[in-house]
Structures are given as C-alpha cells and as structure tokens.
C-alpha cells in the first residue's frame, strides 16, 4: 500500500506513519520539516500549507497513493486545496476530524447521524474549532465524494507523543506524590482512544475501502477516572494519595473541568455526554480495538521519562492543569 500523510511528524500523524511503516507500506509525508521525520525510510516532501505555494512540492511530484491521511486542525481551506489537488492521484482521503462537529450538546449515545454544527464551509478561513473541522470534512467529501472520503470523528486522544499534555499533566502531578485532588466519582466512565489504536483503525479503514463518518473512541466503560489515575500512580511508583472529591466540591471551588483537571468532566452534564458517551459501534464493527488503559499510561510515562519528564505542548493550545495552591485549598492543606 502507498500512503501519503499530510503532516506525519507529531502525535496522530506520527502514529499513522509509524503504523504504516510497521505494516510494510510505502509512506510519503508532506510537512514543514520543523520536526524530525520519525521513521527512517519515509519519503519527505516539504511545504507550508498556510503559504500561497505551500503545496508546490506535492503538485510537482508525480506520486500516486492508495490513500491520503490529513490531520489538519485549522481553517478548512488548506484541506480543500490538498483534496482537490489529490483527487485524481489517491484512492481515498482520510480526514481526522472530531466529535466536536456535532451540534451542542449531543445526547448520550449519539451516533454519526446526530445533527452537525451550522455555518461550516469547505473554503472558509478560520472560524472556531468545530466549524473548522466540519469544514475540513466538507472539503474532503467535496473533492473525493462520499464514497472515497473517510471522516474520523475522534474524541479524546491519549498516548505517547501527546502534545495537548492532558495525560502527561496527570502523570507529572501524581509523580510528585502527596495528596492529589482526584475528581470523582471514581467510577466515572471515560471515552478516549489511544493514538496508536486510532492509527491502526485508519489503516484498516484504507484496507477495507471504508467511507463516511465514524465516531472513533473507546466503547463506553472501557476506562474510568479511577482506572486512569490509579494506573498513573502504579506506573510512576509515586507516594501519591488519590483523594476522591465530590464533583460539587470541585465545581464550587471554581475549577474548570477538562482544562484545569484534564480529561475530567462532571457526570450528568452535557459536556460528559458529548465527550464520554458516544455510540462507537460502527467503528468497533469495522475493526476498532482499544488496548487497556494501563498500557496507554505506561507507554506515555516511558516516553515522558525519555524527555526528562516534560512533554511538548502545541503553541496554539492553552495550558492545562491545576494550580497547586488551588488544589491545596480544596483539600484543606493550606498552611496556617
């Protein structure tokens, strides 16, 4: 199989490249070259998709591919430009989108048929994350047709090389030890996908010649807040005490779910239904397999340790994590 990855040097794109090379595929990447290409033997083209001539190297190349994988997260216009350029040179266009494209707030158990946000356009400049991503979907489908575009509506993505720093923040916090504010309930169900399982499903989708939208995250109940944080405590070996705290106490302290306490959102909220309660039966039926949470945590910790304990962060994203002083106050640990 011949694969073109637009990006391919960071997190999801990197995982796709590594998985494809591992299967013996021929892989070409197009990116700016700001990060080292992670896998030897990958053919590299250079270009900045935000520049007027950003696809010049791709236009001048005579390559053809079985599929293109695109992880673009900004204005949809570059997706449209790439898809139009490649529609006669690639069999399928796989666009890594997001479950945020659904109109807020999708109810628990929502499928790929749930209503979508309004106001998105394939040729738009940057608007907001949800409309930009839906615009990317429209661009991919507009160029390749509904029968050759694969729309990967991912949720929370975790695993090695994570540049949103959600799981890395929890690992770092728990590694410091001591009492840890653990937002409850302990059995709160989570949905996420290990980036390597995401990559494996994408390659399987190409092999099966799939098309259309897929909610791409673990089945409901695959993990809980407890299993995630306890795996962090186990793998770091830290003397950490997880102090499970009622959601009402957390919220009344003014702590922001998802950002100040990454991954966590309170049970029964619209946010929890949207982020942790999707129907993923379509993806599971087409080959999605999700590794245990302990494996995701352990491999992320190993990667973090190789970096000295600090993960890189995408500059276009806000920081995550809770101020130690706020944590201490909620846990009643303030100094007199």
pLDDT in tens, 42-79: 999 999 999 999 999 999 999 999 999 999 999 999 99
| Spatial separation of the C-alpha atoms in residues 264 and 260, rounded to whole Å | 9
Residue of 312 and 328 predicted with greater confidence: 328
Q: Do both 301 and 229 map to the same domain?
A: yes
pLDDT exceeds cutoff 60 at 209: yes
In a domain, 46, yes or no: yes
pLDDT at position 71:
96
Q: Do both 241 and 113 map to the same domain?
A: no
Q: What is the DSSP letter of 100?
A: G
> 298: part of which helix (H) or strand (E)?
helix 293-306
Q: Average pLDDT for residues 228-256, to the nearest whole number? A: 97
Q: Do both 134 and 168 map to the same domain?
A: no
pLDDT at position 40:
85
Nearest CA among 224, 222, 217, 228 for reference residue 288: 217
| Strand locations in 142-268 (E) | 149-154, 157-158, 178-183, 189-190, 193-194, 212-216, 223-224, 240-245, 257-258, 261-262
> 68: part of which helix (H) or strand (E)?
strand 65-70
Q: Do both 111 and 39 map to the same domain?
A: yes
Q: Do both 62 and 180 map to the same domain?
A: no
Instruction: Copy the structure tokens of residue 53.
Output: 């001539």
At which of 137, 154, 171 does a domain end?
154
| C-alpha neighbours within 13 Å on the C-beta side of residue 114 | 23
- CATH classification of the domain holding 120: 3.40.50.720
Q: Which domain holds residue 55?
A: 2-154
Burial class (CB in 10 A: 0-12, 13-18, 19+), 313: middle
How many other C-beta atoms are found inside a 10 Å radius of the C-beta of residue 113? 10
Q: Do both 98 and 166 map to the same domain?
A: no
Q: Do both 102 and 123 map to the same domain?
A: yes
In a domain, 209, yes or no: no
Q: Average pLDDT for residues 105-128, to the nearest whole number? A: 96
In a domain, 121, yes or no: yes
pLDDT at position 335:
53
Asked if residues 14 and 80 have their Cβ atoms less than 8 Å apart, the reply is no
| Spatial separation of the C-alpha atoms in residues 321 and 12, rounded to whole Å | 22
In a domain, 7, yes or no: yes
Q: Average pLDDT for residues 33-38, to the nearest whole number? A: 78
Domain count for the chain, please give it: 2
pLDDT exceeds cutoff 50 at 336: no
| Spatial separation of the C-alpha atoms in residues 3 and 25, rounded to whole Å | 7
Q: What is the residue-wise DSSP string for 131-168?
A: HHHHHHHHHHHHHH-TTTEEEEEE--EESTT-SS-HHH
Q: Do both 50 and 166 map to the same domain?
A: no
75: CB partners within 8 A, 6+ apart? 124, 125, 126, 127, 132, 135
- CATH classification of the domain holding 266: 3.90.25
At which of 154, 175, 207 does a domain end?
154
Q: Average pLDDT for residues 321-328, to the nearest whole number? A: 96
Lowest mean pLDDT segment, chosen from 98-102, 142-146, 215-219, 220-224: 220-224
Q: Do both 126 and 44 map to the same domain?
A: yes
| C-alpha neighbours within 13 Å on the C-beta side of residue 133 | 20
**pLDDT over 90 for what percent of the chain?**
91
pLDDT at position 39:
82
Q: Do both 22 and 88 map to the same domain?
A: yes
Q: Average pLDDT for residues 283-288, to the nearest whole number? A: 98
Q: Do both 113 and 243 map to the same domain?
A: no
At which of 133, 154, 175 does a domain end?
154
pLDDT at position 85:
98
36 — pLDDT class (breaks 50, 70, 90): confident
Mean pLDDT computed over every residue of the chain: 95
In a domain, 301, yes or no: yes
30 — pLDDT class (breaks 50, 70, 90): very high
């Amino acid at each position: 199989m011949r694969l073109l990855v637009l990006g391919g040097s960071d997190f999801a794109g990197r995982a796709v490249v590594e998985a494809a090379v591992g299967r013996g595929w021929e892989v070409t990447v197009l990116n700016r070259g700001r990060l080292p290409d992670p896998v030897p033997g990958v053919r590299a083209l250079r270009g900045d998709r935000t520049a007027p001539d950003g696809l010049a190297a791709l236009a001048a190349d005579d390559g053809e591919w079985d599929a293109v994988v695109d992880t673009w997260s900004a204005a949809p216009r570059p997706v449209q430009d790439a898809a139009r350029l490649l529609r006669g040179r690639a069999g399928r266009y796989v666009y890594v989108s997001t479950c945020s494209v659904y109109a807020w707030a999708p109810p628990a158990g929502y499928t790929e048929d749930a209503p979508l946000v309004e106001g998105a356009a394939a040729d738009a400049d940057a608007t907001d994350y949800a409309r930009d991503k839906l615009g990317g979907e429209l661009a991919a489908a507009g160029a390749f047709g509904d029968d050759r575009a694969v729309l990967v509506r991912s949720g929370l993505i975790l695993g090695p090389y994570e540049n949103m720093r959600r799981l890395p923040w929890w690992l770092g916090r728990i590694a410091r030890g001591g009492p840890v504010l653990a937002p409850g309930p302990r059995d709160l169900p989570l949905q996420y996908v290990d980036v390597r399982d995401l990559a494996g499903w994408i390659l399987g989708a190409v092999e099966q010649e799939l098309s259309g939208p897929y909610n791409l995250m673990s089945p409901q109940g695959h993990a809980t807040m407890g299993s995630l944080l306890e795996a962090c405590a186990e793998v770091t070996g830290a003397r950490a005490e997880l102090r499970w705290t009622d959601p009402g106490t957390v919220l009344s302290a003014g702590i922001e779910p998802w950002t100040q306490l990454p991954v966590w959102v309170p049970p029964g909220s619209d946010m929890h239904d949207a982020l942790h309660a999707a129907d993923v039966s379509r993806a599971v039926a087409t080959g999605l397999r999700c590794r245990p949470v302990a494996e995701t945590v352990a491999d992320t910790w190993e990667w973090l340790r190789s970096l000295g304990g600090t993960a890189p962060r995408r500059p276009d994203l806000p920081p995550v994590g809770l101020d130690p002083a706020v944590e201490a106050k909620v846990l009643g640990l303030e100094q007199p």
